[in-house]
């Protein structure tokens, strides 16, 4: 059935706004969770002048644009990253709804999975740590996905939990500090969510994108050879791509190999 265009625009606008609001909250989580600050009770405030933000200043994306990226009180610059994350959240909501048009539970599960991957990736980027609490939330989404995405079988999920995490663990035994313990636990949980096939795709994309990023960082002298840099964000990108395009990538690769 074709819906009229005005209806599609309205639904699209609602979905985008919903996504920006959720990611506005996730920005707070990314900022406060590593510092063990209260996520819900504490009011949002400016980091420049400690002024508590007014309701209008809390509207995702728009408040940033209207204020020109500055605090109205002290003129301190507001980071663009939070705003871009909110835009990403809006696009994520639109994309999940489009990709899973015929199943709202699937779309919501995918949206939640991308959301928690974003949190894990940014906290790892900021602090070089993958927090257990975030992995527990991801595990919860994995349990829900057993029901919303039954096409990924239980056996595939059990194998998925171990098929990448165990080899990474073995590599760590021989090469000290090759990966963090967080990366291994992350791949355990990703395996439960995605099943073994897509988990293999995840780690391959992680290695490729992480490898390219390492080369760029080393050659631009932003990082030295001895610097550690977080691998988690690349695994998270891999997991997100694998969820939507893993099967297509596997088919493409098999056709290439034939």
Minimum separation from the CB atom of position 55 to Zn ion (A): 16
Structure tokens at 91: 């696009």
Residue 79 makes contact with Zn ion by CB under 5 A: no
Q: How far is the CB of 54 from Zn ion (least distance, A)?
A: 12
Alpha helix stretches (DSSP H) within the chain: 5-32, 62-66, 80-99, 104-127, 132-148, 154-163, 165-174, 181-219, 232-257
Q: DSSP 3-state assignment of 48?
A: coil
74 binds Zn ion (CB under 5 A): yes
The answer to whether 53 contacts Zn ion (rule: CB under 5 A) is no
CB nearer to Zn ion: pick between 72 and 197:
72
CA-to-CA dists, residue 7 to 4, 14, 107, 198, angstroms: 5, 11, 19, 35
Q: What is the CA radius of gyration of the chain?
A: 20
CA 40 to mean position of chain CA atoms: 21
User: Does position 76 bind Zn ion by CB under 5 A?
Assistant: yes
* Sole binder of Zn ion in the list 28, 48, 91, 128 (CB under 5 A): 48
Our finding on whether 49 is near Zn ion (CB under 5 A) is: yes
Interacting stretch for Zn ion, rule CB under 5 A, among 38-46, 100-108, 201-209, 221-229? 38-46
Measured from the CB atom, the residue of 53 and 144 that comes closer to Zn ion is: 53
Work out whether 73 is an interface residue with Zn ion (CB under 5 A).
Answer: yes
| Measured distance CA(254)–CA(245) in Å, rounded | 14
Q: Which stretch binds Zn ion (CB under 5 A): 68-76, 86-94, 116-124, 212-220?
A: 68-76
Task: Please give the Cα distance from 248 to 101 (Å, whole number).
Answer: 18
Which residues of the shown chain bind Zn ion in the complex (CB under 5 A)? Answer: 46, 48-49, 71, 73-74, 76
């Amino acid at each position: 059935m074709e819906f009229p265009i005005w209806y599609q625009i309205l639904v699209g606008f609602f979905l985008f706004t919903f996504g920006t609001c959720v990611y506005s909250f996730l920005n707070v989580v990314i900022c406060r969770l590593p510092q063990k600050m209260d996520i819900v009770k504490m009011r949002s405030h400016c980091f420049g002048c400690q002024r508590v933000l007014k309701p209008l200043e809390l509207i995702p994306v728009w408040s940033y644009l209207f204020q020109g990226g500055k605090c109205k009180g002290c003129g301190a610059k507001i980071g663009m990253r939070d705003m871009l994350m909110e835009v990403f959240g809006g696009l994520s909501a639109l994309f999940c709804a489009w990709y899973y048009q015929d199943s709202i539970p699937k779309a919501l599960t995918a949206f939640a999975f991308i959301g928690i991957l974003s949190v894990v990736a940014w906290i790892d980027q900021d602090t070089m740590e993958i927090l257990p609490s975030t992995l527990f939330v991801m595990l919860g989404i994995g349990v829900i996905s057993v029901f919303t995405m039954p096409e990924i079988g239980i056996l595939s999920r059990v194998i998925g939990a171990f098929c990448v995490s165990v080899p990474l663990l073995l590599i760590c035994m021989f090469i000290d500090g090759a990966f963090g313990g967080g990366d291994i636990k992350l791949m355990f949980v990703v395996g439960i969510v995605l099943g073994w096939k897509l988990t293999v795709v995840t780690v391959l994309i992680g290695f490729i994108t992480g490898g390219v990023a390492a080369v760029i960082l080393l050659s631009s002298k932003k990082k030295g050879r001895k610097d550690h840099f977080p691998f988690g964000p690349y695994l998270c990108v891999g997991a997100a791509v694998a969820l939507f395009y893993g099967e297509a990538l596997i088919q493409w690769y098999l056709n290439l190999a034939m």
